Amino acid sequence: MSKNPSNLKNINRLIHEPTRLMIVTQLYVVESADFLFLQHQLQMTPGNLSSHLSKLEEAGYVEIVKEFIERKPHTALKLTKKGRAAFNKYRKNIKKVLEDLPSQPPYL
Amino acid sequence: MVIIRMNDKMSLREVEKRTYMSYHQDGLIDIFVGIYVLLFGSDILLSTVTEFSTWFVIPAVFPAIMVPIWISVKKRITMPRIGYVKFGSRGTNKLMAILLGLTIAGLGAFMVFSFASRSQVWALTLRNLIVPNGMIIIGISAAAISSLFAYTMGLKRLYVYGLVTLALFLTGHFITIPFAYFLLTIGLVIIINGFVLLIGFIRKYPLLQGDETNVKKSL
């Protein structure tokens, strides 16, 4: 348990969910990626990925960018500024929570 | 696949490298680099036989002709199979910095060779140092460049290419074979590996039907 349990309250639960954390992390390291790339990269089913992306889009963390590649319409997914800021804050908070944990459990 | 383990230090650099690796698993970059090395070798071979050389054209061939073809082929083969990713300016800037550094190093090497061709004593000493050990110098330089790209892009097979090149040029230091043959061998090795990767990639990711390459309509 953290010395200061209130730190845990600062953890963004939307990002903390493992699958969404993978999606956000993947989008964080690139400028944009399409659905198929994310699906292959994260080895997720289309339904599962779609449902998690919808939640991230609702929160304003992911935006859908319509563009043309070789005159064909293409839809790319991008982490918004809000999404990047939320992820950076999440990293900071989770690091703090883990650092605050005692190196040995108190009952030992 | 991106692996994020909460008990490990979450490394964004690792995720970035895996993304690069995944995007270049098709072997296309190997085929194009291999063809380029082969072109270099063929040009040197041609110049020794016919005294006709296109060395001044060759450096421009890669950015002017091969890169656009590579991008076009990538769009036709890779994108429909594993999707599309646009890397951020950070990664591109890093690669551009390496290319710029290599260009400066290349110009520096060219100047050193130019100075070494003078008739002064110090130039003769420099020439006596460079010429007999040319194969070793080129081998080490090629291995270092290859390793630099391997580290930056996370493509481990580039380390192997670097080692193969080093081994070949070190062999060339002891065996007298025309320089062009070493380039042709390295080019062929890279091309063959590229095609092996490409065949494996096409088998692993068959072409999907319909509009599955795009984002789900439900989004």
Q: What is the complex's ipTM, to 2 decimals?
A: 0.79
For residue A73, being part of any structural domain is answered with yes
Which chain B residues are within 8 Å of A40, Cβ to Cβ? 22, 82-83, 205
- pLDDT tens for chain A, 108 residues long, are 445 556 777 788 899 999 999 999 999 999 999 999 999 999 999 999 999 999 999 999 999 888 777 677 778 999 999 999 999 999 989 888 888 877 777 666
Question: For the range B74-79, what are the long-range contacts, defined as Cβ-Cβ under 8 Å and sequence gap of 24 or more?
Answer: B74/B26, B74/B28, B75/A69, B75/A70, B77/B26, B77/B28, B77/B198, B77/B202, B78/B23, B78/B26, B78/B28, B78/B201, B79/A69, B79/B213
Which chain B residues are within 8 Å of A38, Cβ to Cβ? 83
Nearest-Cα residue of chain B relative to residue A47: B216
- Sheet containing strand B85-87, edge to edge, reads A62-69, A72-79, A30-34, B85-87
CA atoms within 13 Å, Cβ hemisphere of A37: 27
Q: Hey, where are the domains in chain B?
A: 12-84+92-204
For residue A101, being part of any structural domain is answered with no
For residue A99, being part of any structural domain is answered with no
- Is the pTM above the cut of 0.80? no
For residue A36, being part of any structural domain is answered with yes
CATH number at residue A10: 1.10.10.10
B1, B2, B14: which to substitute to probe chain A, counting the most A Cβ within 10 Å?
Answer: B2
Strands of chain A (E only): list them. 30-34, 62-69, 72-79
Amino acid in the structure at residue B46: L
For residue A85, being part of any structural domain is answered with yes
Domain count, chain A: 1
Q: Which residue has the tokens 């040009």?
A: B43
Chain B: closest CA distance from residue A74 (Å): 6
Which chain B residues are within 8 Å of A50, Cβ to Cβ? 216, 218-219
Q: Which residue has the tokens 């990269």?
A: A41
- Choose the most confident range, by mean pLDDT, from B16-20, B35-39, B60-64: B35-39
Tell whether the model's pLDDT for residue B137 goes beyond 80.
Answer: yes
Q: How far apart are CA A80 and CA B107, in angstroms?
A: 42
Q: Out of B19, B79, B216, whose CB is closest to A46?
A: B216
Count of H-run helices and E-run strands, chain A: 6, 3
Nearest alpha-carbon partner for B184 in B172, B202, B197: B172
CB-CB under 8 Å, A70 with B75: yes
Nearest alpha-carbon partner for A34 in B23, B141, B21: B23
Q: Which residue has the tokens 């599955």?
A: B212
Q: How far apart are CA A33 and CA A37, in angstroms?
A: 6
Chain A: closest CA distance from residue B41 (Å): 34
For residue A67, being part of any structural domain is answered with yes
Q: Which domain holds residue A79?
A: 6-91
Nearest-Cα residue of chain B relative to residue A91: B10
Nearest-Cα residue of chain A relative to residue B14: A29
Q: How confident is the model at residue B57 (pLDDT cuts 50, 70, 90)?
A: confident
Class of residue B70 by CB neighbours under 10 A (exposed 0-12, middle 13-18, buried 19+): middle
CB-CB under 8 Å, A40 with B82: yes
CB-CB under 8 Å, B84 with A74: yes
Judge contact between B214 and A66, C-beta under 8 A: no
Average pLDDT, stretch B188-198?
95
Chain A: closest CA distance from residue B95 (Å): 15
Nearest alpha-carbon partner for B34 in B162, B146, B181, B189: B189
Residue A34's φ and ψ, nearest 5 degrees, are: -95, 175
For residue A108, being part of any structural domain is answered with no
For residue A42, being part of any structural domain is answered with yes
